[in-house]
Amino acid sequence: MNYHFFVGNDNGNSEHDLVIDGRLIRQPNVNCSVDELPWREEQLPESFLKNLQDQLVVTIDSPSTKPGMYYVGKFALESGEIIDNIQIGIDSKSDMDLPVVNTLAQIAAVAVQKAYNEEKKIPAQLDIEVDMATALPVTQHNDETSARFEKRFTNGKHHVTVHLGIQRVAVNIVFPFVKVVPEATPVIFTLQKDSVGNWREGEIFSEFAASYGIDKKFNGSFFKDKRILHVDIGDGSTEYPITEGNRFLRQFVHGSHHGAGYAIEEALQEFNRLIHLPDSPRQFFSDVLKNPRHKYHARALKTLRRPLESQVKQIVQHVKKQLTKARNEIDLICVYGGGSILMRSILSPYLRELCDERELKLLYIPAEYAVELNARGLDSFVRGKIFEALKNKAVEPVVTPA
């Protein structure tokens, strides 16, 4: 069976968010290399399919990564094995195997689920062609690193075996074209349009519209000609690009090594002491923070408050630097990303005061949308006319003179 997928791929330091064939996948961005399957007894392979992303085990043979068997995402995080993750402020994503392995695994898993849903049987083999848009942090993105990251996907066929218990499905993946852009910049596409190309509207804008007394019929057309200072707060970096309409203003490229992950790293030792563990990974702490019903949630918040305040102050200073560089010629500041959720109670008052002082508006994206904006924006970009034009230009045949 053959499929063609469009993929918008946001390889975050903590969370991996992808839109594959129109479907949003969210998993911890971790994996671990293992020597054998975790299942001893025979289980029906069909029983794995519904929640495959949560129990994802693959074997990968690719020209771009170390071959081997991997637990991926949530299954790796909960396995008790030594996990591989992105070391904030240290690792360069374009050189790491982890983003490639996890991307291949998630695409292969969705392909297997799609084939089963359509054919009502588990396929033996699938061939997948993928057009993909992904991103690198502004501090890591340049012509060299983006070309290198693109080639990690486009330089050959990737063979992925998806394990459904003891049954195997062979998935062959090729990437005809991949475009790597600076993180945060794709968000301009998803702020304006929804997944079917209409002006975006709804709850994502309700607080913003109410704060500034804007008409209830407010929609994404508001942003089509606006100059926006983005503040995309992740685990290991915060990006501060400026966009105007659909244009990324390269003269204002800026990013800093600040984010929720640094606060978590600083709080982690005290958190582990309070819960009587010698060690636990950053992603475990993140999961506890996301779950108000977790028995350790209150203790996690307590240890995080002071480190978060330190990160917030640094981020505000970088926002001020960007505003100064742009001579305050900005229409609004837009704040999103996983770190923005944890920081909101501390960061929002600072930014509100700054915006009032400099006659700007503040769009602080609600928590339920904040994490997925980059993935949704990349999905909009990969399906759009700009991506299509870039792809056509890249694959144009070279005509040599007679």
- DSSP summary character for residue 398: P
**Residue 212 structure tokens:** 């500034």
First to last CA, the chain: 42
> Which domains, and CATH codes, for the chain?
2-181 (3.30.420), 187-371 (3.30.420.40)
Secondary structure E strands in 55-212: 56-61, 68-72, 125-136, 158-164, 167-182
pLDDT in tens, 331-390: 999 999 989 998 999 999 999 999 999 999 999 999 999 999 999 999 999 998 889 999
pLDDT reported for residue 109: 97
What 3-state DSSP class applies to 389?
helix
pLDDT tens-digit map of 215-274 = 778 999 999 999 999 999 988 789 899 999 888 888 888 888 898 888 988 888 888 888
pLDDT reported for residue 265:
86
Across 129-136, average pLDDT: 95
pLDDT of residue 357: 96
- pTM listed for this prediction: 0.86
pLDDT surpassing 90 at residue 278: no
> What's the pLDDT score for residue 89?
59
pLDDT exceeds 90 at position 145: yes
Residue 310 zone, left/alpha/beta (φ > 0; ψ -120 to 50; rest): alpha
Band of the pLDDT at 195, cuts 50, 70, 90?
Answer: confident
Question: Which residues sit opposite 15 in a β-bridge?
Answer: 28
Res 124 pLDDT > 70: yes
Which amino acid, residue 129? E
Q: Residue 348, by phi and psi: left (phi above 0), alpha (psi -120 to 50) or beta?
A: alpha
Residue 399 has pLDDT above 70, yes or no: no
**What pLDDT shows up at residue 320?**
97
Confidence of residue 402 (pLDDT cuts 50, 70, 90): very low
The 10s digit of each residue's pLDDT in 60-107 is: 999 999 999 999 999 999 998 898 887 765 568 888 999 999 999 999
Percent of the chain with pLDDT over 90: 62
CA distances from 278 to 275, 286, 300 (A): 9, 17, 15
Per-residue pLDDT at 190 exceeds 60: yes
The CA–CA distances, whole Å, from 96 to 145, 364, 369, 402 equal 12, 32, 28, 44
Helix (H, G, I), strand (E, B) or coil at 397: coil
- Percent of the chain clearing pLDDT 70 (strictly above): 97
Which residue blocks in 38-97 are alpha helix, DSSP H?
74-77
Reduced to 3 states (helix: H, G, I; strand: E, B; else coil), residue 19 is strand
Return the minimum-mean-pLDDT range out of 26-30, 153-157, 244-248, 368-372. Answer: 244-248
pLDDT at 132: 97
Q: How far is 133 from 128, CA to CA, in rounded Å?
A: 16
> In which element (H, E) is residue 230 found?
strand 227-233
Cβ atoms 174, 128 nearer than 8 A:
yes
What average pLDDT does the structure give for the chain? 90
Q: Which residue has the higher pLDDT, 194 or 75?
A: 75
Whether the Cβ atoms of residue 11 and residue 31 lie closer than 8 Å to each other: no
pLDDT(164) > 90 = yes
Dihedrals φ, ψ of 232, to 5°?
-100, 105
Closest alpha carbon to 105 in 74, 78, 148: 74
Q: Supply the pLDDT for residue 400.
A: 43
Structure tokens at 32: 């671990």
